[in-house]
Amino acid sequence: MKKIITYGTFDLLHWGHIRLLERAKELGDHLTVVLSTDEFNQLKDKKAFHNYEQRKYLLEAIKHVDKVIPETSWNQKIADIQTNQIDIFVMGDDWKGQFDFLTPYCNVCYLERTKNISTTYIKQQLAGSIET
């Protein structure tokens, strides 16, 4: 069984998130999503609209996602990969090169982001700071 892992906050879940999860799952048989906790988001100076449990519930309802675990630290990736016997680490290409240090532990794949959609963009639209 080929195991895939990806990380994120996945707040204001949108079709770009779904496409990432779908394409990640296509690379293997089992997809683990490591979801930033509310406390970890605070450390990153990020504020999610939905709390951790709500975001976890949404992700678990997606057919491409097999497992959701918490992300509590920037430094847990190697342990997550080893503990879950991961074959491929997947992130959007906006992170290109940032996780190449993981290549001794698994393959690293950067998938192209879905254009014209992001949580930041949605928040700006809702705040009225950009036109739709």
Q: Using an 8 Å Cβ cutoff, are 99 and 77 in contact? A: yes
What are the backbone dihedrals phi and psi of residue 20, each rounded to the nearest 5 degrees, phi first? -60, -45
Q: Choose, from 2, 25, 44, 67, the residue flagged as catalytic.
A: 44
Of the residues 2, 46, 47, 96, which is catalytic? 46
pLDDT digits (tens, 9 = 90+) for 87-125: 999 999 999 999 999 999 999 999 998 777 666 766 677
Rounded CA-CA distance 24/63 in Å is 12
Distance, CA of 87 to CA of 70 (rounded, Å): 19
Q: Known catalytic residue: 46? A: yes
Q: Is the pTM of this model over 0.85?
A: yes
47 classed as catalytic: no
Enumerate the β-bridge partners of residue 107: 88
For residue 102, the enclosing domain spans: 3-128
> How many distinct structural domains can be found in the chain?
1
Q: Write the CATH number for 109.
A: 3.40.50.620
Residue 8 sits at the vertex; the CA angle it makes with 95 and 5, to the nearest 5 degrees, is 85
Amino acid in position 81 = I
Task: Look at 33-42, 72-81, 112-121 and tell me which has the smallest mean pLDDT.
Answer: 112-121
